[in-house]
Each structure stands twice: as structure tokens, then as C-alpha cells.
Structure 1
Amino acid sequence: MATTAPLDPTATPPATPAPPPRLTGRQRWVLTLLLGAQFMIAVDFSILNVALPVVGRGLGFPLADLQWVATAFALAAAGFTLLFGRVADLFGRRRVFLAGMAVLGVASLVGGLAVDPAMLLVARVAQGLATAAVTPAGMALLTTSFPEGPLRDRALGLNGALMSAGFTAGAVLGGLLTDLLSWRWAFFLNVPVAAVVLFAAPALVAESRPADRPRLDAPGAVTVTGGLLALVYGFTSAGERGWGAPLTVGALVVSAALLAAFHAVERRAAAPLVPVRILRRRGVVWGNVAGLLAFASETSLVFLMTLYLQRVLGFSPLATGLAFGVLGAGTVLGGVLGARVIGRIGTRSTLVTGALVQAVATASLVLLGEGRGWLTLLLVATFVGGVGNMLAIVGFMVTATSGLPDAEQGLATGLATMTQQVGITVGIPVMSAVATAHTSGAAGPAAVLHGVSLAVLLNAALAAAVAVTSALFLHGRRRTA
């Protein structure tokens, strides 16, 4: 009969795996506050889109100038993000975050009370500047409030989900508020939210800034801000006038010259706005390339599907906004799953997998036809594509902000935020140019559908490019709890 060896009382019991870290009560409040602010910022990008015709009639905007309601916001938001991200590093992220929220609240009140086009455009520029301050400062506060690892991955995943969902929710809210109340409530909605954040943030969010405060790189700030403004304006002009228009070409040439000058300045500056060493980090460079393409593809797909739903299927603006609720649900799900997926398969694999899912789902939209029965395919494809896009975005945010000291988190999140906002801004003009260039001057549903289908193919190719570049140029890293 077999005997059992006696137990050694001095033996060390086998180690049990540590439970995954959990958010503390204070961290939950910090997360809620910062995510709420970022969600509101994302809503502002799109909340006026479906209301623009009503705004134009109410304030006497000429039809040709109506697009400036959106463009004025986008120019300021994208052009000044990198500068304000660095200012937040130097002078305090919470301070810049709160200042931006205060400006946003006041600008939203002014916009809601606007009596003429000039007053509204000033409010939109101020909203854009506030967005350029709040977004990178808020992101830096988010990354420094949670240690690198599963907790930060989870926070970034939720942030990405709400940012993307906010862009979609803006279309829904804009339609609802315009139909039920007035377009002015698209502005007024921000005021109480800004007030709550301003009241609660000082007690919940700790100040964050590096111990040493170098001088602000003024030449770098001027060249990069001018370059980004010219870039966004050039792409916007391309969507309106075409790629060969003198204004479009001139703006893009000026942008290229200023951004090249910025790179030269940064190589020689004692305290550069963007240290050249950070641009040698593969994760920062290729992570931001992936993020640019991911944001450009998904936000411009919303534009393309808006054309399809309204110009081909005949949906109202409100019904169109509600249809995008399915896409919003997909992005929220992708954001919630993002940290878990990264924990299982690693950051690069998550980015690649999400982009491939998005590419396949988007490509299926080429099958759309002129009958309303095709709505089912649109809803399923945008939901699945939304999940994939958000997995890619979470992978991008983790990649672009990992492996850096807290002193450079404002810079890293400023770069990532700039990437996000430039992607949102330039994607739509590109897709608009492709879609309208192939309608052959016709305005019927068949012609619009043909142009949309070609643009959808390009959109799917952008998503596939995210997968390819990430697989080739990023290192695989797996998170551990």
C-alpha cells in the first residue's frame, strides 16, 4: 500500500496570484469627473452638425459661410492642443484644466445667447480654445492619477469609449434639442456641467506638474501652432473647393513649411516643446500614426453614413442621429472591453485586431443599396466596426502614453490628443472630396450611393492600414495585473 509523505511544517505554501487591482472610492470619483468633462468636450465636436441649417436661418448666416460654425471650433481645438498640453506640463495640469473649463462654460453661455453670426463664431473659437486646453490637461491628469498598468488601461479604455460615444451622442443630442427645444440648448447644456466640474475638481483632483519648470519654447509654439492651423484649414478647404484650389494648395504648402521649421527649431531648442528624443520612441510615433488613421476613418464614416441615410434612404436628421446610437453602443462596449483584451493578448495585438475588425465591418458597407431593408446591414456593421475601432483607439492611447515619466505625460497626452483632433477634423474633408468627386454632378440617390461606396472602400483601407503599420512597427507588450 502506498504511503503519503508527512507534510513539512516549514515548507512555504505555493503563492496565490494577486487579485487584480481595484479602484479606490476616491479614484472612482476622479475618473467620473474627468470622464464627464471629456465626454462633454467630445459632444461639442458634433452637437451642432445636424442643427446647422436651423442655426443659419435663426442668425442670418449665408449658406456659404455656415460651415464656419464647425470649422472655427475645429481650427482652434486642433491647432492649439499641443501648445496647451505643454503649458499644462509647465504651469500645472489641474490649473489649465480648470481654466479651460471656465472658458468653456462662459463661451457656451455666450454661444447660446448669440444674436448674430459674429457673436456665435467668437463663442465657437473660444470653445475650441477651451477644448485645446481641457483635453490634454484632463488626459494628463487621468494618466498621472492611475499607475501604469491595468488601472490606467481601464481608465484610458473608458475615456476612449466616452470620447467616441460623445461624438456620436452629439449628433443624437443635437437633433433632439433642436427639435424639442432650440439649437441654443446645444450650447446651454455645457454650462451646468462646467459648473459642477469647477466646483468638484479642486477637492478631488490633485495638482500635477514636474518639479523643474523649464522655459516655454516660444519659437516651437509659434511654428507648430501655425503649421497645425494651416494643415486643418487646408484639409477643410479641400473638402469645399477641391484639392487643386489655390487656397487649398497654399495652406498645405504653408503647413508643410511651418512644420518643417518646427522640427528644425526643436532640434536646437534648450527646452523644446516636443523633445526630439520622444519622437524617437517607436510607441509614440507609430502609436500616433495608428490613432490618426483610426479617428479619421471612424468619424468620417459617420459623415458618409449620414449622406447615405439622408440622401439615399431619405431619413430625417433626428432619425439619422438615432441610427448612430447603435454605433455609439459599439464604441462603449469596445472601450469597456479594451483593458481586458489588452491584458489577454497585449497592446499591439489589441490594436491590430481592433483595426482588422473595423476594416472588415466597414468594407461590408459597400453592399448597401437604395432600399430601406439595407438599414439592418448598416446597423450591424457600424456596431461591430465601432467595437473594433474602440479597441484600436484604446490600444493607441496605451501605446502612445506608456513608458514615459510623469513629467512628460502632458506632452505625450498632448500629442495623442492633437492626433485625435486632427484625425477628426481631416477625415471628413477627405471622404467628402472622394464621395462628391464621383457623383458626376448628379444629385440622385444612385449617384450619391456610388460616391459613398467608393469613399467607404477608402475608409476601410485606412482601418486596414492601422493594422498593417501597427503589426510591422510596434513592439508587442502584454499587460499583467
Structure 2
Amino acid sequence: MNLHSTPPRSGAVLAALAGAQFTVMLATSIVNVALPQIRVGVGLSDGGTTWVVNAYGLAFGALLLAGGRAADLLGRRRVLMAGLGLFAVASLTAGLAGSSDVLIAARAAQGVGAAAIAPAALALAMGLFPSGAGRGRALGVWGAVSGAGGAGGVLLGGVLTQAWGWPWIFHSVAFGTVLVLAAVAALIPRASSAEGGKFDLLGTVTITVSLTCLVWGLTTARGSGWTDPGVLGALLGSTVLLGAFVVIERRRSDALVPPRLFRTGRVAAGNLLMALLGSVWIALFFFLPLYQQQVLGMGPLATGAGQLPLAAANMLGASLAPRVSRRIGDSATVIAALLTTAAGMLWLARISADGSYVGHVLGPSILIGLGLSTAFVQLTALAVGGVPPQDAGLAGGLVNTTRQVGGAIGLAALATLAGTVTTHAAVTRTPQLEAVTAGYRAAFTVSAAVLTAAALLALLLTRRSGWQRTVATAPARRSAEPRASAVS
């Protein structure tokens, strides 16, 4: 049995896979609003509170490549279900945690499960729609749920924390994950066999430890400072191991990241631009709720509700992205989306200490939502399109890795910048709220500059990589590729 023989179920299968992606993105942001209540509930220190967020991101970002390759070699359905099972158990454990150690360990376990879920689900979705307009629509759905998960996490976190307390943010994720697991088990047929091949253990360990050191060093630097010996040692170790990984991969026939993945140049272009997009994406959902709560004085529920326009714009942009791409071209769509997001960030940089949600947040949020989702859809298509079927899971893991690691780098740099600006303003006896707002303004201004640079880079990469036609609008000759082999 294969998905090609049951086309009426393709929509339901895509919904189940999109649900898996939604849970991963939801868990990224759902704790942000509830951090003060979580801190009191389990007795966290300042550093421990940060690690409620960092433990998830660290495990997720470091293991995505390994999760993607495991999906290719062991079977994508099998790895997806295992990841969902672990994610559900870890979420339930986090909600029941009575100590900080248990909570942080459970968040790390959530990250491990997410690293298996994200690339396996994306590979299955791309196998369901190998090429043509169908793939464009599927990527539109993917972009919509990814953005909605980030914004919806803030809303749901605020609602649940205010209504029933912080443990319910984790219980709700566990319940939702079980529903997704049941849907995947019922709708996606068992594959007759996996792709086969050897697992590059040496390369996997090297890059995983390298990414772990990088993400840990960047996230720790926000609290310990960039000159801390532990931070410097972690960043140096990451650099050395990354160089060793490149050497190892060139000499292995079973490389974790085989050179064939970058043969056309489009995969490299998509991942580079996705890293830049991720560097401001994750930071946005960190700074915006803080401004709403700390400066505007909004409560958890109001802060979450304030994310709804952004989420709605995100879903609209994702659904329109394939249509816009067919009309004006893929590269033009990416460039326009990046510049739209940059304009929204620049608008957001006009926030003030005596501002209002309607006057300073609502308009920029809608503009940013439209741009972010459109760019995400097109860059995902660029990064996973045209790769050999046996590498679909790896391509999905790679694009998620670059977004996650780019996000860690961007958040660390922007948080350091915002903190520095705020401290300098406080030294000059600027009122506290104005000093904090000045830091946020600086972060949003630099985010706009990064996105503008990404748009210029996209223009350059378009010419060098021959990226005038992407997988979302690929030639019809590829539509005849068998679906079953890619999905299984």
C-alpha cells in the first residue's frame, strides 16, 4: 500500500504531518509568557529560567542533522512516530516536574524528540507531493503552521497560564502530540523498507558535539558574557570540530552530509538565507512579548492575544506564497518577502516607552507576518527541492538546523546588543522603561539591516546558482516521479 494509490487521503496525511510540525514550533514559544510563573513554581534561579528555553533549543538544534539522516536510513514513518512518542512523554514529565532539574531535563528530551519529528515529517510531506503546484500548496501549509505555531505558542501559553497555571502548557502539548501520533499511525502506511545504507557515526558525533558547543556557548554568553572562559572554550571547540567534520565528510563514502546534496547550488543558497531569516525570526518572538509585558504592561493573556494578527498574517502569506511565486518568479518572491519583513522590523523599531499596542505593534506585526511566512515557504522549497530521494530527510534536517542555529546566533547577538544599549542608557540616568525600550529598538533595527542584507545576497545567489525555477514550480517532467519511494 502506498500514498500514490490513495490520493483522496493526501489532504488528511498532510494535515497530520503539518500537525507534527506545529507541535515542534509550539513548544519553542509556548513557555515564553509563562517563565515568571515557572520560575516560582519550581524554584528556578535566573540562569535556570533561561535554560527552560535553552535546553529545548540546544537539543533540537544539535540533533537535527542526525534525526534527518536517521529518518532516511531507518524509515521516516518509524522515526517520526518514535519522535512523537518521546515528545509526548517529555511534555507530560515537564508538566509534572516538581524540581528545576526534572523540568530542564524534560525540556531537553522534548528537543531530542523534536529533532526526529521535524525532518521526518518534512521528508514525508515532500514525498507526498514530489513536484508541481501540489508541492507549492503543501509548502504553503507548512509555512502557515510553522508561523502559527510560533505565534500561537505565545497565545496558548498566556491563556493556559492565566486560566489553570503553567503546568498546563506542557499537558496541552502532550495531549496534542498524542492526537498527532494517533493520526500518523492511522493515516501513513508502513513502508516496506527504508532507504538502507550505513550511518556515518563519526561524522554524526562530530557535528552534533560541534553544534552543541556552538549553541551552548551562544546561549550562555547572554548571561555569562562573551569573555567567560567557558563560553570562549565552547566556541573554540565548536570551530575546531566543525573543521574536523568537513575533513571527515570529504573522505567517507557514507557521509552524513554527502557532497551530492549541494550539486546544484540551490541547497546551499536556501540554507544560507534560511540561517539569516532564522536569526531574526526567533529573536522576534523573544523581544516582542517582552516589550508587550515589560513596557506596555500587558498581562499574559493580552500578550498572547496580541500575537493573533501576526499569526493570521503569517498563515495568509504562506498560503499566497506559491501563487505569488508563479506570477513574479521564485527569486523575486524571496527578495520581496525579505524586504517586506525588513520594512516591518524597521517600523517596529519606532516603539516607545509610552507607546500602545495598536499604535506601535499591530501594523508592523501584520507586515512582518506576511513577509516571514512567504520567505520561509520559498526558502524551504529551495533547500529541499531537487535533492535525491534518499536524502530527503537529511535535506529537511539541514534546513531546520540552519534556521535553529541561525536563530541561536541571532538571539545571542541581538540580546547582547539590546542589553548593552539598555545598560548604557541606564548609566546616563534614562528612566528604566525608556532604557529597556531603547534596547529593543536597537535589536529591531539591526534585524531590519540583516534582512536587507539577506535580500541583496539572495539577488547575488540567484545569478550564481541558476535559481530561477524552484521545486515549488518545477517543470512538469518531474511530476512523473513515483511518490511511494519518496514517502516511504
- With structure 1 as the length reference, what TM-score do the two structures score? 0.91
Query: Which residue is 1:10 aligned to?
Result: none
How many residue pairs end up in the alignment?
459
Letter in 1 for 2:281: E
Query: Which residue is 1:260 aligned to?
Result: 243
Query: Which residue is 1:305 aligned to?
Result: 288
Structure-2 change in CA distance of 1:209 and 1:459 (3 Å): farther
Q: Deviations over 1:205-227 (max 9, x none)?
A: 13469865211111100110001
Larger displacement relative to structure 2 (111-120 or 218-227) = 111-120
The 5-angstrom pairing of residues 24-39 of structure 1 reads 24-39=7-22
Structure-2 change in CA distance of 1:453 and 1:200 (3 Å): closer
Query: Which residue is 2:469 aligned to?
Result: 477
Query: Which residue is 1:420 aligned to?
Result: 403
Larger displacement relative to structure 2 (241-250 or 411-420) = 241-250
In structure 2, distance between residues paired with 1:24 and 1:91: 25
Query: Which residue is 1:455 aligned to?
Result: 443
Letter in 2 for 1:42: M
The 5-angstrom pairing of residues 436-455 of structure 1 reads 436-440=419-423, 442=426, 444-455=432-443
Structure-2 change in CA distance of 1:327 and 1:103 (3 Å): same
Relative contact order, higher structure (CA 8 A, sep 6+)? 2
Query: Which of residues 176, 186, 193 is equivalent to 2:176?
Result: 193
SS at match of 1:439: helix
Alpha-carbon distance, 1:438 to partner: 1.0
Alpha-carbon distance, 1:166 to partner: 0.5
Letter in 2 for 1:300: A
Query: Structure 1 residue 69 and structure 2 residue 52: aligned?
Result: yes
Query: Which residue is 2:73 aligned to?
Result: 90
The 5-angstrom pairing of residues 75-224 of structure 1 reads 75-207=58-190, 212-224=195-207
Query: Structure 1 residue 467 and structure 2 residue 467: aligned?
Result: no
Segments of structure 2 that go 5 or more residues without pairing to the other structure are: 1-5, 477-488
CA contact 2:48–2:100 (8 Å) conserved in 1:
no
Larger displacement relative to structure 2 (365-374 or 153-162) = 365-374
Alpha-carbon distance, 1:305 to partner: 2.2
Q: Deviations over 1:247-297 (max 9, x none)?
A: 222211111111111111000012000012323432111111111111221
Query: Which residue is 2:485 aligned to?
Result: none
Query: Structure 1 residue 269 and structure 2 residue 252: aligned?
Result: yes
Query: Which residue is 1:360 aligned to?
Result: 343
SS at match of 1:66: helix
Alpha-carbon distance, 1:121 to partner: 1.8
Percent identity between the two aligned chains? 38
Alpha-carbon distance, 1:124 to partner: 1.0
Letter in 1 for 2:469: R
CA contact 1:238–1:430 (8 Å) conserved in 2:
no
SS at match of 1:189: helix
Letter in 2 for 1:326: P
Alpha-carbon distance, 1:473 to partner: 0.7
In structure 2, distance between residues paired with 1:279 and 1:301: 30
Letter in 1 for 2:201: A
Letter in 1 for 2:15: T
CA contact 2:342–2:452 (8 Å) conserved in 1:
yes
SS at match of 2:332: helix
CA contact 1:304–1:431 (8 Å) conserved in 2:
no
Query: Which residue is 1:322 aligned to?
Result: 305
Larger displacement relative to structure 2 (357-366 or 173-182) = 357-366
CA contact 2:22–2:146 (8 Å) conserved in 1:
yes
SS at match of 1:148: coil
Structure-2 change in CA distance of 1:208 and 1:462 (3 Å): farther
Q: Deviations over 1:74-133 (max 9, x none)?
A: 111110010010011001000000001111111111111112112212211111100000
- Structure showing greater radius of gyration is 1
Structure-2 change in CA distance of 1:209 and 1:472 (3 Å): farther
The 5-angstrom pairing of residues 272-291 of structure 1 reads 272-291=255-274
Letter in 1 for 2:210: G
CA contact 1:172–1:321 (8 Å) conserved in 2:
yes
Query: Which residue is 2:483 aligned to?
Result: none
In structure 1, distance between residues paired with 2:451 and 2:110: 30
Letter in 1 for 2:436: V
Let me know the Cα RMSD of the aligned residues. 1.9
Query: Which residue is 1:433 aligned to?
Result: 416
Letter in 2 for 1:197: V
In structure 1, distance between residues paired with 2:70 and 2:79: 8
SS at match of 1:48: coil
Alpha-carbon distance, 1:374 to partner: 6.3
The 5-angstrom pairing of residues 320-359 of structure 1 reads 320-359=303-342
Structure-2 change in CA distance of 1:199 and 1:308 (3 Å): closer
CA contact 2:349–2:441 (8 Å) conserved in 1:
yes
Q: Deviations over 1:180-223 (max 9, x none)?
A: 01211111112332222332323321346986521111110011
Query: Which residue is 1:232 aligned to?
Result: 215
More helix by share: 2
In structure 1, distance between residues paired with 2:150 and 2:361: 18
CA contact 2:325–2:333 (8 Å) conserved in 1:
yes
Alpha-carbon distance, 1:373 to partner: 4.2
Query: Structure 1 residue 44 and structure 2 residue 32: aligned?
Result: no
Structure-2 change in CA distance of 1:209 and 1:371 (3 Å): farther
Q: Deviations over 1:124-169 (max 9, x none)?
A: 1111100000111011111111121211111112111211210111
CA contact 2:32–2:286 (8 Å) conserved in 1:
no
